[in-house]
Amino acid sequence: MIAVTILGSTGTIGVNTLDVIARHPGRYEVFALSANRNVYGLLQQCLTWRPRYAVMVEQAAAADLRGRVAAAGLKTEVLAGADALVDISNHPDVAYVMAGIVGAAGLLPNLAAARAGKRVMLANKESLVMSGALFMNAVRESGAELLPIDSEHNAVFQCMPPGFERGLPSVGVRRILLTASGGPFRTRELSELGAVTPDEACAHPKWVMGRKISVDSATMMNKGLEIIEACWLFGTGQDAVEVVVHPQSVIHSMVEYVDGSVLAQLGNPDMRTPIAYALGWPERVDSGVAQLNLFDVRKLDFEEPDSRRFPSLRLAREAMSAGGTAPTILNAANEEAVAAFLDGRIPFPAIADVVEASLNELAPRAADELAVILDDDRRARDVATRCARRLAR
């Protein structure tokens, strides 16, 4: 039995991971589950999976869950706080860690899992955006296995030849093509974007995702962060990573070779495919995903991203070029700006304005120490919050 910790188990990634695990009884053991404050959701998962540990980040939520777990007669030990997330990620009895926590909150447990030599199934792109060099060094030094869960990076991983770690030119790879759906506002008049609502921004045309990630898809900041993530995962510069808008979301990404070949990974837009790939690798295991019917798809469209519509792509590339903690600042400012939009405090176009203002105000520092990275994350949030107040409706 392979012991698995699932960080963010009540979110979309966590729920889909448990769905895949349920299809393979006797192969995987759910060792630990975690949630932020969804007591009811985590309790139901504990009743089903009987993990050794359950972690609530919020103390009050942990106390509530602890009482409910005891009343149900479960032996699950309920822990609380960010330190507990680290404990269930680097625990010696754990083999695999599903890194499903959204945002900067996932950095410390994900880094702990990497340093402990686990198989890190990374659905949290922010870990590499914030601390790419530190994270990849931890993977190399510990011998950890790093498998991407983002559908785009998982697709690239599947299309890469053996030995790509030595450098893409050495294995004949010319560039990486990251596909993007274009989100819900791909064809919306630019003059109308100031009036869009949070619910509209979260209504993704193809994928079922959490609200923050859905907004990132609508602004295409998710693709900007994925450019940075791809550079770290595959050891290349951003000039070798191109974004292609593909509204059908059937091709999840592509790899172009120097001989002119382009390999693509296709499938229905369902996160269980990359999750099953990471759980089973190097084998293939059943995911429960419906077969792709190309006769139903009929056609595949491709477009260049509109720079006026999606300024976040430019901001992400500029942050990557600036280096150091600039990507950390980018990510933190974006998280605060998205939160302000979802709360109704700023209009949709102001998300990019907050991020750009934050990047302009804060000079990046060398990102070779975790303390510096975390400090610039905090400073960027303070600046972004102030900028959001200035741009409030």
Confidence of residue 361 (pLDDT cuts 50, 70, 90): very high
Mean pLDDT of the chain: 96
d(C-alpha 341, C-alpha 44), whole Å? 31
Q: Which of 109, 129, 148 is the last residue of a domain?
A: 148
pLDDT, residue 278, reads: 98
Domain that holds residue 217: 156-268+291-297
Note whether residue 76 is domain-resident.
Answer: yes
Q: For the chain, where are the alpha helices, taking DSSP H only? A: 12-22, 39-49, 59-71, 82-89, 107-115, 126-142, 151-159, 198-201, 211-219, 221-234, 272-280, 294-297, 311-322, 326-342, 350-361, 370-390
Q: Is the pLDDT of residue 69 over 90?
A: yes
Token duo for residue 368: 């070779």
Note whether residue 26 is domain-resident.
Answer: yes
Burial state string for 355-375 with b = 16 or more CB within 10 A and e = fewer than 16: bbbbbeebebbebeeeebbbe
Q: What is the mean pLDDT of residues 195-218?
A: 88
Q: Which of 102, 127, 148 is the last residue of a domain?
A: 148
Q: Which of 106, 125, 148 is the last residue of a domain?
A: 148
Q: Is the pLDDT of residue 104 over 90?
A: no
pLDDT, residue 103, reads: 84
Note whether residue 281 is domain-resident.
Answer: no
Confidence of residue 134 (pLDDT cuts 50, 70, 90): very high
Q: Is the pLDDT of residue 393 over 80?
A: no
- Residues near 92 by Cβ (< 8 Å), separated by ≥ 6? 116
Phi, psi of 147 (to 5 degrees): -120, 120
In terms of domains, do 31 and 121 share one? yes
Token duo for residue 248: 């059908």
In terms of domains, do 17 and 105 share one? yes
Q: What pLDDT digit, counting tens, does each position of 7-61 carry?
A: 999 999 999 999 999 999 999 999 999 999 999 999 999 999 999 999 999 999 9
In terms of domains, do 180 and 116 share one? no
Q: What is the mean pLDDT of residues 181-188?
A: 92
Q: What is the mean pLDDT of residues 80-94?
A: 98
Q: Is 136 helix (H, G, I), strand (E, B) or coil?
A: helix
CA distances from 99 to 126, 146, 248, 290 (A): 11, 11, 27, 25
Note whether residue 284 is domain-resident.
Answer: no
In terms of domains, do 332 and 252 share one? no
Q: What pLDDT digit, counting tens, does each position of 214-255 carry?
A: 999 999 999 999 999 999 999 999 999 999 999 999 999 999
Confidence of residue 205 (pLDDT cuts 50, 70, 90): confident
CB 315, CB 357: distance < 8 Å: no
Q: Is the pLDDT of residue 206 over 90?
A: no
In terms of domains, do 123 and 207 share one? no
In terms of domains, do 19 and 144 share one? yes
In terms of domains, do 120 and 65 share one? yes
pLDDT, residue 210, reads: 82
Contacts of 209-217 with CB under 8 Å at 24 or more apart are 209/12, 210/11, 210/12, 210/102, 211/342, 212/102, 212/103, 212/335, 212/338, 212/339, 212/342, 213/102, 215/338, 215/341, 215/342, 215/351, 216/334, 216/338, 217/180, 217/181, 217/183
Q: In CATH, what number is assigned to the domain containing residue 79?
A: 3.40.50.720
In terms of domains, do 195 and 256 share one? yes
State the pTM of this model: 0.94
Cα–Cα–Cα angle for 288, 99, 30, rounded to 5 degrees:
60
d(C-alpha 225, C-alpha 327), whole Å? 8
Q: In CATH, what number is assigned to the domain containing residue 383?
A: 1.10.1740.10
Sheet holding 173-180, edge to edge: 241-245, 173-180, 251-257, 262-266
In terms of domains, do 101 and 127 share one? yes
Tokens 């990046």 identify what position? 364
Note whether residue 338 is domain-resident.
Answer: yes
Q: Is the pLDDT of residue 204 over 90?
A: no
CB 62, CB 42: distance < 8 Å: no
d(C-alpha 148, C-alpha 139), whole Å? 13
Pick from 331, 380, 341, 374: which is nearest to 360 by CA?
Answer: 380
Max CA pair span of the chain:
64
CB 60, CB 72: distance < 8 Å: no
Number of domains in the chain: 3
Q: What pLDDT digit, counting tens, does each position of 145-172 carry?
A: 999 999 999 999 999 999 999 999 999 9
Note whether residue 303 is domain-resident.
Answer: no
Token duo for residue 228: 């940075």
Q: Is the pLDDT of residue 280 over 70?
A: yes
Q: Is the pLDDT of residue 208 over 80?
A: no
In terms of domains, do 120 and 216 share one? no
Token duo for residue 127: 């870990």
Note whether residue 279 is domain-resident.
Answer: no
Q: Is the pLDDT of residue 183 over 70?
A: yes
Amino acid at the residue 15? V
pLDDT cut 70: percent of the chain above it: 99
Note whether residue 375 is domain-resident.
Answer: yes
In terms of domains, do 144 and 160 share one? no
In terms of domains, do 128 and 24 share one? yes
